[in-house]
Amino acid sequence: MHKKSVQNIYAILYIILSSTIVTGAYFYSLQLGLDRLSETAKVRIDQSSNRLLEQLASFKQLSNLLARNPKIIEAFEGNSDIKSIDELVQSTVFLSGSEQILLINKTGNVIASSKLVSGKPTEKSINPNEPYVQAALNGRLGYFYAVDKQTLARTIFIARGIYTSSLSPQGVVIIKVDIPSLEYQWNVDDVSLAFFDANDVAFITNRPSMALRRLGSLDKPFLETKHYERNQISKFFDYKKSMLLNHTILKFFNTEELPKEALILSKYIPRLEMTTQVFMSTQVTKFSARVQAGLTAAIFFALGSGLWSLWLRRQRLIDKLAIEEAANAKLEARVEKRTAQLKKAQFQLVQAGKLKALGEISAGISHELNQPLAAMQNFSENGAKMLDLNKIEDARINFDLIGTQINRITRIIKSLRAFARKEKETIEAIDLQEVIKETLSLSKSRIDFEKVDIEWHPEDKEIMVMGGHVRLQQVVINLLTNAIDSMQNKKNKKISIKILKSKSDVIMSVRDTGDGLSDPGRVFEPFYSTKEVGASKGMGLGLSISYGIVGSFGGEMSCSNYKSGGAEFIIKLRVADGKMLS
């Protein structure tokens, strides 16, 4: 079979496969979106129904309270002034938010009303055959919704019988609730919903333009017409009904009150004798499905383009290899040679970087080792003089001190190596005061020469912390050295060492009376130094190393400028728990 024919077949199969998967991704995403939208609609229905029932419950409770009110009962027994009852129902209307409250007798005559004209009720009588009046006279709670014949407003009537000393109700309390006032109390909602009665008429809704509109045809017979007149009902907005993935969808035309396309969900509410319907816009859901399908299509397009490109490239390479095999072999040889040259250059660059780092570190090590080497020279000269004077013991002491300085150099190198290579060393319980004592002893000659006053009051008992004796001694030596260096131009040279203890930590502070720190935030950075480079002034490694050592103990190290002048370094160490870590 010809190569182009094979290519065309593969291309057609790939297009069919990708189209099928993209379509499946669209409908799968749409199904998930509509399912989530349906769940949201259920929540909205429950929320709106509960909200309306709670609003009506307060008016039902109000009817019970008024029916049991002693003044109203006395009025129906003829023992109370009707005028005072009018004032009672008027104040109750004001406080409850109801539209009107009426008190009628069994024949329907109005005894008291919240609406008066010249001291008399605006309505003289109510038809006692009204269903809500009959329910109240029969001992039940009367509930009825209708378009009020007087005000032509949507109204809910709630009625409760008034019992005197007789066993049957002698009158009825009627509470008129204005439905628009209930709807006004609802929060602004982006979802349209309505409560439809048995005739599919939207009687309660959060969209005023939907009120008293009937779903379906107006020519469809009405089951009952006691709630309103037929001429008060108008046709619902034009729509087309369809099913999409087991969900009912309505497409609306020529209206801005409802979404152009909405998922419909209904639930019958027995206590309201109405069906709640919510109209959830599918715009976002469909857009999300289209985005998912678009992304899937983009992935398959990119994959197909890549495969097609690889296929074409492979064919070109096959043809080219067949014609220029010799030329390609030569090219490969040149590539190998160039690769070797690049690797060699890369190795040289790495070595140059290592040499540069070694130069910087060597300068830092020179600074750290300068003092013990100078001390060894002094001790060796003193030892030689002692031998000349035949003072063997004094000479031995100087040579022992040289050994101490050699150990110090070894410890410095070990600490620097541990810092650089992050070696693991033993952490154990050590006496912090013993470390400070040894450090002051080693630094005594420098302290005396610089005439520095050391303020430190050791305690009689040990202060045990977790750390390494040698490494912590190096940290304290470094802090003392830096403190002395910072007080070169000061007359009053003083270093204060304090120790504070808590249950879990020990805090040691070293404070001097020097010039302070120019940039406390950078003190612990490697190679950061405010001293002159060279001449034993250092390369800024000391504090960085000390910071790493304290951190390896599980402690913390910080610094700041003291209020009265000078710098203060704080070392926070853990109290020894008797364990040894490595």
Domains of the chain: 68-183 (3.30.450.20), 184-285 (3.30.450.20), 422-574 (3.30.565.10)
Strands 213-214 and 234-235: parallel
The answer to whether 495 touches 480, Cβ cutoff 8 Å, is yes
The Cα–Cα gap between 471 and 508 comes to: 15
Per-residue confidence (pLDDT) for residue 509, from 0 to 100: 92
pLDDT digit string, tens, across residues 332-344: 878 888 877 765 6
Q: Is the dihedral of CA 339, 343, 349, 352 positive or negative?
A: negative
The Cα–Cα gap between 404 and 396 comes to: 12
Distance of CA 398 to the CA centre of its chain: 67
The answer to whether 101 touches 175, Cβ cutoff 8 Å, is yes
The answer to whether 550 touches 556, Cβ cutoff 8 Å, is yes
The Cα–Cα gap between 274 and 267 comes to: 9
How many residues are listed for the chain in this entry? 582
The Cα–Cα gap between 29 and 290 comes to: 8
Per-residue confidence (pLDDT) for residue 349, from 0 to 100: 40
Distances (CA, A) of 433 to 440, 471, 573: 11, 14, 13
pLDDT digit string, tens, across residues 429-474: 999 999 898 888 777 777 888 889 999 999 888 999 998 887 888 8
**Ranges of the chain whose pLDDT falls below 50:** 346-347, 349-361, 363-364, 415-416, 418-424, 533-536, 580-582
- Amino acid making up residue 412: I
Distance of CA 233 to the CA centre of its chain: 51
Per-residue confidence (pLDDT) for residue 231, from 0 to 100: 82
Q: Is the dihedral of CA 205, 207, 212, 217 positive or negative?
A: negative
Helix (H/G/I), strand (E/B), else coil: 214: strand
- Mark residue 427 as left, alpha or beta (left: phi above 0; alpha: psi -120 to 50; beta: remaining): beta
Token pair for 203: 């009687």
